[in-house]
Amino acid sequence: MSQPFPGALIDYGWNERVLALFNEFDGPAIQPARVVRVERSACVAVFPDGTEHLLQAPTLPAVGDWVVVEDAVIQAVLARWSELSRADPSGHGTQVLAANVDLVVITAPADRLSPARVERELALAWDSGAQPLVVLTKADLAPPGLEASLRDRLVGVDVLATSATADLGVEDLRQALRPHRTAVLLGPSGAGKSTLANAVVGGERLATGEVRASDARGRHTTTSRQLVVVPGGGVLIDTPGLRSLGLGAEVDLDAAYPDIESLAVGCRFRDCRHQAEPGCAVTAAAGAGSLDPARLASFAKLQRELAAEARRVDPLARKEELSIWKARVKSARANDKRRIR
C-alpha cells in the first residue's frame, strides 16, 4: 500500500492493527474494505475512496469484518479480534452478529426492563472479547429507583441512562466511541436501538418504528445489520431486535456474574453448581439476602442452558453429566437408608 491509513477508511476504524493484517496479503489489484451491511445473500463494503459496493463472496462475512477485495470479489476476511455471536436459531453452530467491535452496547428499555435478559446479553458480550456497556434507554419513562436497582444488580459493568427524546446520555455515548472505537447495539425489538443510533449519529440514518400498545414490543424496523460512522469519531453497528439469544456451549458465565464467582470460592465442593449442594456459599448468600435471589435464578437458568447445549454437541459431556447424576442419586439413596435406620 502507498499510504498507511487509506482515505475514508480512517473514519471506519482503520488502524495499525488492520494495516498489519492487510499487509499479510499480496497482489497488485487488492484493496482493503470494511463490511458495512449484510443482507441475507449479499454484503456491502466501503472502500478507501468512501464509496460503497455490493460484493460477492464464497461465504458471506459479518458486518464489521475487514476484507481483502480484488475485482469486486472478496478474496479473504482479515482475522477478527472480537466476535459477537449467538447460537444459530437453526440449531447448527453459531451465527456471527458483528465482528471487530470494541464495545457491546446492551440496550435495556426502561419501560419493560428484563434484568435477566440483560444478564444473558452480558454473557454474550463478555464472551465476544469486547467490553460491554449497559445503556438504559427511554430513561425518562423509568419508574423511581429502576436505574439504581439495575446498577445494584449488575456487577462489574457500567450502566448509562439515556433518552433520545430528552437528549439524556447521548453525548456520553458519543464520547465512549471516540476516537475510533466500534460499538454494536444489542437488544430486543422496541428497545430504541435505532432511535438511539440516530441521536448519536445526528440524523435519521436508520429506520425507526412505534412500539405496539398491546404488548409493548417493537416491530422489526431494522431488518439487517448495518454500520454507520459517528461524526466526531467512532463507528456504530445497529442490529435487528433478537428474540432468540441462545448461548454457545463454550460461553463462560464468570465474567457476567463476578459476584457469584467470588462467592463460589467458599463452597464446600469445587464442582458445586449452587443448587441444592450442602455447604454452598452462593445459596447461603442468597438466603441471607447478600445476593439477589433473582440474580442467582438467572445464573442457574443460563448454567442449565449451557449444560444442555454442551450435552447436545458433545457426547462425552452427556456421558459425564449422566455419571454425575447417577452418583448424586446413589448418594441420596444411601442417606435415605441411614435416616431410616
Q: Please name the helix (run of DSSP H) or strand (run of DSSP E) that holds residue 70, with its range, or none.
A: strand 66-70
The reply to whether omega before 179 is within 30° of 0 (cis) is: yes
Closest listed residue to residue 306, CA positions, set 249, 246, 244, 245: 249
The C-alpha atoms of residue 145 and residue 304 are separated, in whole angstroms, by: 31
Tell me the pTM: 0.84
What 316-320 contacts at long range (C-beta under 8 Å, 24+ apart), as own/partner pairs, is 317/249
The torsion defined by the Cα of 246, 252, 254 and 257, in degrees rounded to 10, comes to -10
Determine the number of helices (DSSP H) and then strands (DSSP E) in the chain: 9, 13
User: Of residues 26 and 220, which shows the higher confidence score?
Assistant: 26
For residues 195 and 164, is the Cβ–Cβ distance under 8 A?
yes
C-alpha distances (whole Å) from 321 to each of 62, 307, 317, 328 are 35, 8, 6, 11
Q: What is the average per-residue pLDDT within 140-149?
A: 94
Tell which wins on pLDDT, 338 or 6.
6
Q: Which residue has the higher pLDDT, 303 or 309?
A: 303
Residue 183 has pLDDT above 50, yes or no: yes
Closest CA to 239 of 85, 131, 9, 12: 85
CA dihedral for 269, 275, 278, 279, sign (positive or negative): positive
Lowest mean pLDDT among 108-122, 136-150, 222-236, 315-329: 315-329
pLDDT band at 278 (very low <50, low <70, confident <90, very high): very high
pLDDT tens digits, residue range 12-46?
999 999 999 999 998 888 999 999 998 777 899 99
pLDDT band at 215 (very low <50, low <70, confident <90, very high): very low
What does pLDDT average to over the chain?
Answer: 86
Is 340 a residue whose pLDDT tops 70?
no
Domains of the chain with bracketed CATH: 7-77 (2.30.30.140), 83-238 (3.40.50.300), 258-340 (1.10.40.50)
Query: Which residue intervals of 89-160 are DSSP H helices?
Result: 115-128, 146-153
> Of the ranges 71-85, 100-114, 242-256, which one carries the lowest mean pLDDT score?
242-256
- Report pLDDT for 253: 93
pLDDT at 113 (0 to 100):
94
Rg (CA), the chain: 23
Predicted local confidence at residue 216, as pLDDT: 45
Span 58-86, mean pLDDT? 94
CA distances from 221 to 195, 225, 268 (A): 10, 11, 50
Residue 307 has pLDDT above 60, yes or no: yes
* CB-based burial label for 191 (10 Å; 0-12, 13-18, 19+): buried
pLDDT tens digits, one per residue of 41-67: 789 999 999 999 999 888 899 999 999
Separation between Cα atoms, residue 176 and residue 185, nearest integer Å: 13
Q: What is the pLDDT of residue 99?
A: 97
Please compute the mean of the pLDDT values over residues 143-157 and round it to a whole number.
94
Residue 218: pLDDT band with limits 50, 70, 90 = very low
Q: What is the pLDDT of residue 217?
A: 47
